[in-house]
Chain A
Amino acid sequence: MLEIRNLHARLTDGREILRGIDLLVEAGEVHAIMGPNGSGKSTLAAVLAGRDGYQITEGAVTYLGRDLLAMPAEERACGGLFLAFQYPVEIPGVNNMYFLRAALNAQHRHRGEPELDAGQFLRAVRAKLKFLDIGEDLLQRAVNVGFSGGEKKRNEIFQMAMLEPRLAILDETDSGLDIDALRAVARGVNQQRAPDRAILLITHYQRLLGYVEPDRVHVLQGGRIIESGDKDLALELERRGYGALGDAA
């Protein structure tokens, strides 16, 4: 589903953040990407989602057989790539429901599928709300405005559930969550696991992985994946810390 080969990316100021990433993610898999602060985790997420401000100097990314890096951000989204933001953005005055419906219908239009009318959309929303523990009041508020940290993250997972992506990238969705919110988020992620869907969990801590069991765990450091393994690698990291891996970088 996703194949990253020797990906190098730098900021516009010339600093190289990604220094040769190789990663293969198959449909149905959950991969965790772990690493210390500044290792390039969020940059990887941003580059995959098509954020401006990065220069790709080397390498290639293939997504569902297409050249991902050649697609504008909205086309990647319409092609089923979803990014749950580490810092979800506030849009004052825009109703959360309205925003989501606009997004969903933009994706449907792009794929030549019929748009949902207000009634169909509301039914779909109600069905998803149940297991995410999100109050309906959240839907009537402006996008992320005045949301608590937990509410913002739950809202991201809710959007993911509604948009039903093929590849979901969760950028530190677990950071700053209390245990209830963490469980709700994990429930949402687990519910999204499906044979035709891949999930990339970017995280600093092992905590979330206690609730969402990854198929593969990768350690990112200095802009490279320095170690890969199964779920036990996460536990090992938790025990010995990232510092012990430093020498291998």
Chain B
Amino acid sequence: MTASSDTVRTVRSLSQEGYKYGFVTDIEADEAPPGLTEDTVRFISAKKEEPEWLLEWRLAAFRAWRTMTPPNWAKLHLAPIDYQAATYYSAPKQSAGPKSLDEVDPELLRTYEKLGIPLREREALAGVAVDAVFDSISVATTFKEELGKLGIIFCSMGEAVREHPDLVRRYLGTVVPQNDNFFAALNSAVFSDGSFAYVPPGVRCPMELSTYFRINAAKSGQFERTLLIADAGSYVSYLEGCTAPQRDENQLHAAVVELIAHEDAQIKYSTVQNWYPGDAEGRGGIYNFVTKRGACRGARAKISWTQVETGSAITWKYPSCLLEGDHSVGEFYSVAITNNRQQADTGTKMIHIGKDTRSTIVAKGISAGRGQNTYRGLVRVQPRAQNARNHTQCDSLLIGERCGAHTVPYIEVRNPSARVEHEATTSKISEDQLFYCRQRGLSAEDAVSLIVNGFCKEVLKELPMEFAVEAQKLLAVSLEGSVG
């Protein structure tokens, strides 16, 4: 199952070619010494050859971070993290990963197979030291040219800083300020890379934008920074993540995503998160602390978040919408699964600021094994937000006796014309349902997967078609062994 030498050669040559497109930056492996000081921030910024203003921006974030403490209000149990023990900059090393799929954990390979991941992609996902996913480079290049004709910019954050500094400077940190919260401040100080997209006025982006097509994506995971701007009257759909389980030697992840939708613009942001959840006892899983927020800056702007969260040992994540423009719309569709020892505290914030703003929240939590799943959501209606409307539907499904589901809604209404609805249900997969399915010929595991997919349907249908099919398979794999 090793890559043929042909493939390796082609990948090598392609990735060298890749330099001129700016996809691959600092391949020469360098590591910052462990710990986080101002020097670390300067080192990172210098490594990335950043302009002075960005260094100052990072330093401001770092100074804010030093005065902050990790949030403790989430329903998550974890040992304190030693932030001074971590390494904050490490350029990708060719030799770091396994040499071939033969050296990769067979368990992981079986999962790839079940998910139907193509062989070459499996190598990239498992971190095999092939430095590019074969097809992606050419595909990405072709796409980039096509997008360029429409004036759409889609590149890595590092490239955006170099090529489009004015845009980055104008928008970076305007939705999630450096000192927003502990993890956002940390990210702002040390962010590694991420994605940048700008869609000009009136342009409908003709394809789903995806980090998948960027070869550095897998390596920029730890402190990823994403910035998406949809100018007036434009539309863009963005896919993040991938259904295959991703491993990373860094346990701590703190990403920031900022979305800006101007007047009449629409952003659809879909995520499938499947970071390594740890073993059955939760050892070694990723801690995922994410700040995602979108601002509907103009009238009738719309931002829609869809997430399928199946991975990570710890998930702390609240994709939110600031509904500033009148008649702007925010949506949040979420499926969060916790199995074994996984813990998720996730939800959203809908902040109604403009008049006639609307928001919809559909959150589906599935708990199995000893998983703990918390929905935490804030709906706030500001005094000026005349006729704001929100509908929240929050459903929990329990599988087994030792898991937990928790719902923590916060509703703050400061305008009497607001209409805010909250519905919540909790159910268990019943013996009756399982028997009914089995009596028709389905195995217990297929039955669970069928029932779970039905439970999540309202959310899955918000995903782009191909992603939805993958997500369905992923739900099944994530819950394997949860009934017996």
Give the CA-CA distance A118 to B450 in the complex, in Å: 18
A85 to B437, CA, bound (A): 12
Given the known interface contacts A51-B435, A89-B433, A91-B450, the answer about A74 and B457 at a Cβ–Cβ threshold of 8 Å is no
Closest chain A residue to B461, Cβ basis: A93
Does the CB pair A73–B435 fall under 8 Å? yes
Q: Which of A51, A78, A93, A110 has the most CB of B within 10 A?
A: A93
Stretch in contact with the other chain, from A101-109, A192-200, A231-239 = A101-109
Asked whether any CB of chain B lies closer than 8 Å to the CB of A167, the reply is: no
CB distance from A151 to the nearest CB of B (A): 16
Does A249 sit within 8 A of B, measured CB to CB?
no
CB pair B454 A93 closer than 8 Å: yes
Would you list which residues of chain A between 28 and 75 have a CB under 8 Å from chain B?
Answer: 49-53, 72-74
Given contacts A52-B435, A89-B432, contact A163 B450 (CB under 8 A): no
Check if B454 sits within 8 Å of A142, measured CB to CB.
yes
Q: Tell whether B32 is near chain A: CB-to-CB under 8 Å.
A: no
Q: Is the CB of A94 within 8 A of B451?
A: yes
A229 to B458, CA, bound (A): 53
**B-chain residues with CB within 8 Å of residue A85 when the two chains form the complex:** 436, 439
Stretch at the interface among B276-284, B402-410, B441-449: B441-449
Chain A neighbourhood of B20, CB < 8 A: none
B52 within 8 Å of A (CB atoms): no
Residue A77 at the chain B interface, CB threshold 8 Å: yes
- Which residues 72-106 of A have a CB within 8 angstroms of B? 72-74, 76-78, 82-83, 85, 88-94, 99-100, 102-104, 106
Cβ of B431 under 8 Å from chain A: yes
Chain A residues near B440 (CB, 8 Å)? 77, 99-100, 103, 106, 159, 163
CB atoms of A91 and B446 under 8 A apart = no
Q: Is there an interface contact between B450 and A94, defined as CB atoms closer than 8 Å?
A: yes
Q: Which residues of B from 448 to 482 have beta carbons under 8 Å from A?
A: 450-451, 453-458
Which parts of A180-237 form the interface with B (CB within 8 Å)?
none
B contacts with A, residue count (CB < 8 A)? 23
Q: Is B455 in contact with A107, judged by CB distance below 8 angstroms?
A: no
Q: Is the CB of B450 within 8 A of A74?
A: no
A49 in contact with B439 (CB, 8 Å): yes
Distance between A68 CB and nearest chain B CB, rounded to angstroms: 14
Given contacts A92-B455, A93-B457, contact A102 B450 (CB under 8 A): yes
Whether A92 and B441, one on each chain, are in contact in the complex, defined by CB atoms closer than 8 angstroms, is: no
* B47 beta carbon closer than 8 Å to chain A: no
- Pairwise interchain contact A73-B446, C-beta atoms closer than 8 A: no
Contact B441 A103 (CB under 8 A): yes
Chain A nearest CB from B269 CB (Å) reads 24
Q: Are A106 and B446 in contact (CB under 8 A)?
A: yes
**Contacting residues, chain A, for B384 (C-beta < 8 A):** none
**In the complex, residue of chain A having the shortest beta-carbon distance to the beta carbon of B442:** A106
Choose among B442, B454, B455, B456 the residue that contacts A74 (Cβ–Cβ < 8 A).
B442
Determine the chain B residues whose CB is within 8 A of the CB of A72 once the complex forms. 438
Most buried by A among B430, B442, B456: B442
Complex Cα spacing A102 to B457, Å: 16
Contact: A88 with B436, CB < 8 Å?
Answer: yes
A144 to chain B, nearest CB (A): 9
Query: Which one of B436, B441, B443, B458 lies within 8 Å of A89 (CB-CB)?
Result: B436
Question: For B435, what are the chain A residues with a Cβ–Cβ distance below 8 Å?
Answer: 49, 51-52, 73, 89
B443–A106 contact, CB under 8 A?
yes
How far, in Å, is B203 (CB) from chain A's closest CB?
36
Contacts of A83 in B (CB 8 A): 439
User: Which residues does chain A contribute within 8 Å of B457, judged by CB atoms?
Assistant: 93-94
* Known contacts A102-B446, A106-B443, A106-B446; A93/B438 CB under 8 A: no
Bound CA–CA A99/B450 (angstroms): 8
What B residues does A104 contact at CB under 8 A? 441
Chain A nearest CB: distance from B462 CB in Å?
14
**Are A107 and B441 CB-contacts (below 8 A) given A93-B453, A93-B454?**
yes
| CA of A185 to CA of B433, assembled, Å | 23
**Cβ distance A21 to chain B, nearest Cβ, rounded Å:** 20
In contact, A93 and B439 (Cβ under 8 angstroms):
no
Q: How far is the CB of A105 from chain B (nearest CB, A)?
A: 9
Report the nearest B residue to A80, measured CB to CB.
Answer: B441
Q: Which residues on A sit within 8 Å (CB–CB) of B439? A: 49-51, 73-74, 76-77, 82-83, 85
A77 and B433 in contact (CB under 8 A), knowing A93-B453, A94-B453, A94-B454? no
Beyond the given A49-B439, A159-B440, please list 17 additional residue pairs across the A-B interface where CB-CB is below 8 A. Answer: A49-B435, A50-B438, A53-B431, A73-B439, A77-B439, A83-B439, A89-B435, A91-B433, A91-B450, A91-B451, A93-B453, A93-B455, A102-B446, A103-B440, A103-B441, A104-B441, A110-B441
Residues of B within 8 A of A (CB): 430-433, 435-444, 446, 450-451, 453-458
A–B pairs, 28, beta carbons within 8 Å: A49-B439, A50-B438, A50-B439, A51-B435, A52-B435, A53-B431, A74-B439, A74-B441, A74-B442, A74-B444, A77-B439, A85-B439, A88-B436, A89-B435, A89-B436, A91-B433, A91-B436, A91-B454, A93-B453, A93-B455, A93-B457, A94-B450, A94-B453, A94-B457, A99-B440, A103-B437, A103-B441, A106-B440
